[in-house]
Each structure stands twice: as structure tokens, then as C-alpha cells.
Amino acid sequence: MQNKHHYVAIMAGGIGSRFWPMSRTAYPKQFLDVLNTGKTLIQWTYERYLPFIPAENIFIVTSSEYVDIVKKQLPQLPEQNILAEPSKKNTAPCIAYISFKLAQIDPKATFIVAPSDHLILEQENFQKIVEKALDFVSNINALATLGIKPTNPNTGYGYIQYEGLEVSNGVYKVKTFTEKPTQEIAESFLASGDFLWNAGIFAWKASVILKAFEKYQPEMFELFDQEKANFNTENEKQAIEKIYPQCTNISIDIAIMEKADNVYVLPSAFGWSDLGTWNSAYENMEKDYFGNAVASNNVIVIDATKCMINAPKDKLVVVQGIDDFIIVDTKDVLLICSKEKEQSIKEYVAEVKRHKGDKYI
């Protein structure tokens, strides 16, 4: 049975620049069908929570410029459940906003914070662990995060180190957070066995995370607290437009999680990928006999192997004689890039901006 005090806040304000040229500032990757499944990433994320979170308790926090896209892609979502941020300020202000709002709607509100653009393949395992996290934080003054059991020494993720003793069934106290490590350090983390990938999925009571803001981010807390009487009224938009320009641009990890002493982690495995790059999309797609992942039904591949190819349905693309490449064709941009250079796509986007302005960004 669904718990009426359980909520989810799906964060959908990012621009996904490493998925350029498919992901653009005006239409970023969470609104795209990156894996050619027939659904966009935000639609998958929304549907992931429906079985165990009441539909009216699912909120989307996004940039004001994406509100219309959210309405179009999730027409079943009540309009008041879309929170519009007037500017991109990273995850801490976004979480402060939804926390103040939910604390007013329901003093017992306990909620999950989740990105809108991740892939989760094992729904049943995911639901079990999220419900366990929600139950744990419902009864204790704790901030919980889901840590993914690492499968390789990936340097693109943050890491969480945890203590060996269980404090509750499958829940451990967090020792340290480490931002993206070097290859050598990532290998030592993997070997030690007490490190997890930081998936950026959190669970807490609204009242508990607000206390943490008050303690560790007093200035930001004060900005929201002064305007809280306007939340859930027709003056909310005006209040948020007043608050946001004054907020620090900071992630929840740095703002709170790395400072707080009541942080716990649930080691998890549910087929997770943050779909941060074209390579991660490639890894999660079906491949042909030669290891090519093709997101289009109008591509002919000849003597090519291990390529990631994404092209419009109405355009014939013929690829011959290349190995280990990313090829992304859109109506106005064609990217051909070696797979091993994909971490440099952000630099290529900066180069495009320098030479061509914002037209292709």
C-alpha cells in the first residue's frame, strides 16, 4: 500500500552537455529518447515511482524554460507539481525549494530526491531499496543516500566510503565523500571494498533536511525561510524569483552531505547508469553482431565495429570502415568523434560556441 507521506522530487533542470549535439540547451537529454526505447528519460523516471509513490506526490523541479516540455511529456502530472526555477543554481537551492514546499504541504513529508536522466534496469530491486530508505529516514534524524556497488574503477563518478557495521538492515554510516578520483585512487577504492558510487539519489524527511540547511547553509536557509509564507500560494513564483538570484550555486553534496554527521548509505544494485555520456548509452543499448549500437532504423553499417550511431529516422546514414566511433547526426549538426575522446565533448561544445555563438548549443 502506498504511503501518503511519501513523495519524490525529480530534478530535471540540467543541460546534459556531454550528449551534444542531440542534447541542446533548449531541449536537454532528460526530454530525449536517448536509448531509442520509445520513451524519454523523464518519462521513464516518472513511471519508475508510480507503483509506490502516490501520483499526486510526484514533483518535478525544472528550469522555467522547460516547464512546457514537462507538461507535454507528462500530461498526467498536476500543474502545481511542476516547480520552475528561474535560474540554474545546481542541486542545493533546488532541494531547499522543494523541502520548504513539502514541509508546508505535509509536516510528515518524507521524500526521495532523484535525477531525471538516469537509467535503472531492475525496477523491483530499485523499489525495495527506495522503500527501505524511506522507512529508515521516517523514524530517525538521518539523511540517506543510495550508493551503487562499483563494477569498475570509474573516474567519472563520486565515491562514498562507509563504515563496516550495519546500523539498520542494509544501512551503514557514511565515513567520507570523494569527488571524481584519479584512476589510481579509483582502483584502490575498488580494491578496499568499502566504497560505493554516489548515484545522487537521496532520502530524508523534509523537516530533517531543513534543519541541515539551517545548520550548514544558514544564508540559503534564511532566504527561503523569509519567503515561506508565499509557498503554495499565488505569490510563490514571485517569491522564488526574489530568492534565486541571491542563492549560491552549489551542489547538495558540497553544501550539506559532506558536512553533516547524520549521513547514511544503502549499498545498492539495481542496474544503474547515470547515462552521463554517449559511451554509457552505448553500453546500455542492444548491439549488432559487430558491436555497433544503432539508435535509428535508417542506418546501414558496412565493415564498421563498436560504433555508437544516433541519427534521425527520416535520413539514411551509411557508415563504412570505422571502429570505436560516436556518430550523432541531427538536423543541423553532425558529430563524428572517437569513443575514447568522448570526455572532451564539453570542450568541443565550447569550441563551437566560440566560433559559431549559441546557434548550435
Label residue 75 by pLDDT band (50, 70, 90).
very high
Enumerate residues 6+ apart whose C-beta is below 8 A from 165.
Answer: 172, 173
Report pLDDT for 114.
Answer: 96
Q: Give the mean pLDDT of the chain.
A: 93
Give the separation between CA 141 and CA 135, rounded to whole angstroms.
12
For 69, the 3-state DSSP assignment is helix
Q: Tell me the percentage of the chain whose pLDDT exceeds 90.
A: 81
Q: Which of 50, 55, 29 is nearest to 41 (CA)?
A: 29
DSSP 317-347: EEEES-BSEEEEE-SS-EEEEEGGGGGGHHH
Report pLDDT for 241.
Answer: 95
- The single residue listed with the C-alpha cell 498536476 is 78
Please give the sequence-ordered ranges of beta strands (E in DSSP) within 149-224, or none if there are none: 159-168, 171-178, 195-205
Residues 10/130, Cβ–Cβ less than 8 Å: no
- The single residue listed with the C-alpha cell 545498492 is 268
Report pLDDT for 313.
Answer: 86
Q: What are phi and psi of 274, to 5 degrees?
A: -85, 0
Residues 109/101, Cβ–Cβ less than 8 Å: no
Question: Taking 80 as the threshold, does the pLDDT of residue 1 lie above it?
Answer: no
Give the separation between CA 361 and CA 355, rounded to whole angstroms.
11
Q: What is the pLDDT of residues 89-112, one digit of tens each?
A: 999 999 999 999 999 999 999 999
Stretch(es) of the chain classified as CATH 3.90.550.10? 6-273
Protein fold of 6-273: Spore Coat Polysaccharide Biosynthesis Protein SpsA; Chain A (3.90.550)
Q: What is the pLDDT of residues 179-189, one digit of tens each?
A: 888 888 888 88
Label residue 237 by pLDDT band (50, 70, 90).
very high
Report pLDDT for 122.
Answer: 94
- The single residue listed with the C-alpha cell 577504492 is 189
* CA dist list (Å): 342 to 261, 326, 347: 37, 8, 10
Question: Taking 90 as the threshold, does the pLDDT of residue 15 lie above it?
Answer: no
Residues 194/162, Cβ–Cβ less than 8 Å: yes
Whether residue 21 has a cis bond before it, omega within 30° of 0: yes
Query: What is the DSSP code (8-state) at residue 256?
Result: I
C-alpha cell at 251: 551542489
